[in-house]
Amino acid sequence: MKDDCEILFFGDEITENTVPLFESELLNRYSRDDFEISTEILSDGTSDEAKAHFDSIDLSAFDVLVLDFGFYDWKKDISSSLFRQNLSEIVSKSRNQDLRVIVSTIHPVENSILLGTTAIDREYNEVIRELAEEYGVQVADVYQWWEEKILLTRRYLKNSEKPNPKGRQLIAESFSHVVPQSHKVILWQFNGRANANCNYDCPYCYYPTDNENFSFGSPSEWKEVFKNTFGEQDLIFYFTFAEPTIAREFFDYVEMIGSVENWELRITTNLSLPEKSLKKLANTKLANEDRLHINASFHPSQTSIDGFIERHQVLRENGIEAPVIYVMYPPQIDVFKDHFERFDERNILVHVRPYQGEGYPNAYTDHQRKQIARYTDTATIRYVLNRKPPFDRHTYAGLHFYIVDAAGNIGYDSNSFQWHTRYRTMYGNLIQYNSLDLPTIPPKYPKGDYPKTVDGVSNLLEVDYKQLEGNNVLSYAEQGGVYRTEDGVVYENMEKDFQDSSVRAQYYFPSRNVRDAFHKFWLFGIKNSLKYIWLKYVENRIHLYFKHTQQTYETDGIRGVLKQAYLHLKEGLPGSEEMEREVVKSPLEESDDR
């Protein structure tokens, strides 16, 4: 959400009663100085009355407009065709203003979810969703969120129709999934994926160094594809697969993104571009308009720190502040402190990434965990280093964050493109537009899996982070206690006592003894303690076992699966770490936020 965001809700008295709850939701993440909410209320208003009143509203002061009509159209038997005509006219006029427009679906009425689809969803809500797609505006899908969260709607309704306080809270939650989210992020494999190319050969990386990049279509054709899908919505593209800056037509794609004023670009790069090319990148239209954000990955086995710092300085001198990404590959841990000091004395923020592979991060010793945690933001310690399983698996990935491959297939996360199929799609294909089926509410992260990236963690609803603005690593790290100041970079966890059992419980460190386990139990309570044990030690192991079995079938067929089952019956199941080591980490399944 942009600073000093002015939000206008235009709706009926249900809207009026819901807005204070929505404001409370926002205040969990934002300060009161960050936004201002106004309302324009037609007490039992229909779309007819809204259309007649709309021209009298001065929209010039607002950044976001939420249109929340339809309930009284249904209640007063206004036809869905007239409702479509009225709402279409309002949305069309709204888009002529410099506004982000959001339309809201109608909540369910008595037992509508249990008894099946009603006219509200079949007629009126479908009109709202279709108009959102037609005009390229966002939708707060209240109906779908109720369907996701509850079974019997009557407990959330007053007099079988209007929402009671619990129902209004669900509506406020639905608004909070969309209103603060000002942009969509496209993690774009423009240079291929399994065949993306890199000029480094890091021992902890899975990308090949001798592939030929490919992409369907030209930059101008891709521009049209994204415009057709997302309309005038703000987009941030993210290049991070292999080494994106060496891809064919890299600068053509940078120029294409820069040609649309509300598009931005994030790049994760090893800074191997020659100085002349780095200066060219730092002086593109995107960079000059502060729409280019760069993360710099330092790989000690592939380049010297002196040369890396020199290239980093080129970006800084041209107004681009790039955080340094450092993977805690076990052989690099001992030299990390020396490298860190070189960066820290130059006020360069270092974002530490736990190593994902060969049984890590589970295989880290307790000493290594504590050493890594001191330089790491809080969410990364909890969810990546110590692998806290999400209690609530709902994620903004798929709603505001997508992955798009070089053929136009679109999914919600790297894991949605299954390694065992060439047709890596979950929500359809952008080029074949009529195949798209994008979610309208937050979907769920895969069972038994863990978020492994900055975006993967921040997209979890339970983390309750603000949407990442500008440079995603800097925005994420700041919310977790790592941030730059004029006097240097602050690492709030540097002085934490990770020997203390109560501190370890807060950061989800593995228990060393009964005291550690007790503090976790005391912190979580009975319900969450049982949930934590199930998710981390039972469900994850089941997930890994089936993944391992699936891979055995792919390589050795049914005979291999039967042989594996016999050995497991005879010798017992392998542990989680052993199964993780045995499961081949295919390029189509690994984490892509490098």
pTM of the predicted model as reported, rounded to 2 decimal places: 0.87
Residue 116 has pLDDT above 80, yes or no: no
For residues 524-541, average pLDDT:
67
Quote the CA–CA distance of 137 and 232 in Å, as a whole number: 8
SS (H, E, C) 150-202: CCCHHHHEECCCEECHHHHHHHHHHHHCCCCCCCEEEEECCCCCCCCCCCCCC
Band of residue 583 on the pLDDT scale cut at 50, 70, 90? very low
Q: Tell me the two tokens of residue 290.
A: 């502060």
User: Does 5-176 match 184-491 in CATH topology?
Assistant: no
> 184-491, what's its fold?
TIM Barrel (3.20.20)
Band of residue 581 on the pLDDT scale cut at 50, 70, 90? very low
Least confident of 4-13, 25-34, 344-353: 25-34
Domain coordinates in residue numbering, the chain: 5-176, 184-491
Question: Do residues 493 and 485 lie in contact, with contact meaning Cβ atoms separated by under 8 Å?
Answer: no
Residue 77 has pLDDT above 80, yes or no: yes
Band of residue 124 on the pLDDT scale cut at 50, 70, 90? very high
Residue 592 has pLDDT above 50, yes or no: no
Least confident of 56-65, 154-163, 520-529: 520-529
Residue with tokens 């969309």: 178
Q: What pLDDT does 559 receive?
A: 79
- The distance of Cα 111 from the centroid of its chain, to the nearest Å, equals 33
Quote the CA–CA distance of 343 and 168 in Å, as a whole number: 49
Q: What pLDDT does 359 receive?
A: 86
Residue 2 has pLDDT above 50, yes or no: yes
For residues 99-112, average pLDDT:
87
Residue 572 has pLDDT above 80, yes or no: no
* Cα pseudo-dihedral 552, 540, 581, 578, rounded to 10: -100
Residue 448 has pLDDT above 70, yes or no: no
CA proximity to 296, closest of 282, 280, 276:
282
Q: What pLDDT does 589 receive?
A: 39
Considering only residues 515 and 530, tell me which one the structure prediction assigns the higher pLDDT.
515
- The distance of Cα 161 from the centroid of its chain, to the nearest Å, equals 34
Name the CATH superfamily housing domain 5-176. SGNH hydrolase (3.40.50.1110)
Q: What pLDDT does 588 receive?
A: 35
- The distance of Cα 100 from the centroid of its chain, to the nearest Å, equals 20
What are the DSSP calls for 228-259, one per residue? HHHTT--EEEEE-SS-GGGSTTHHHHHHHHHT
Q: What pLDDT does 3 receive?
A: 82
Residue 57 has pLDDT above 70, yes or no: yes
Quote the CA–CA distance of 484 and 324 in Å, as a whole number: 12
Residue 211 has pLDDT above 90, yes or no: no
Band of residue 526 on the pLDDT scale cut at 50, 70, 90? confident
Q: What pLDDT does 113 receive?
A: 56
Model pLDDT for residues 334-393, shown as the tens digit of each residue = 999 999 999 999 999 999 999 988 889 999 999 999 999 999 999 999 999 999 888 888
Quote the CA–CA distance of 294 and 269 in Å, as a whole number: 7
Question: Do residues 354 and 385 lie in contact, with contact meaning Cβ atoms separated by under 8 Å?
Answer: yes
Quote the CA–CA distance of 544 and 389 in Å, as a whole number: 14
Contact partners, residue 588, CB within 8 Å, separation at least 6: 193, 194, 417, 418, 419, 424
For residues 415-431, average pLDDT:
60
Q: Is 524 exposed, middle or buried (0-12, 13-18, 19+ CB in 10 A)?
A: middle
Cis peptide before 361, with omega less than 30 degrees from 0?
A: yes
Residue 420 has pLDDT above 50, yes or no: no
Q: Tell me the two tokens of residue 330.
A: 């076990």
For residues 414-427, average pLDDT:
51
Model pLDDT for residues 462-490, shown as the tens digit of each residue = 999 999 999 999 999 999 999 999 999 99
CA proximity to 258, closest of 218, 288, 279:
288
Residue 111 has pLDDT above 70, yes or no: no
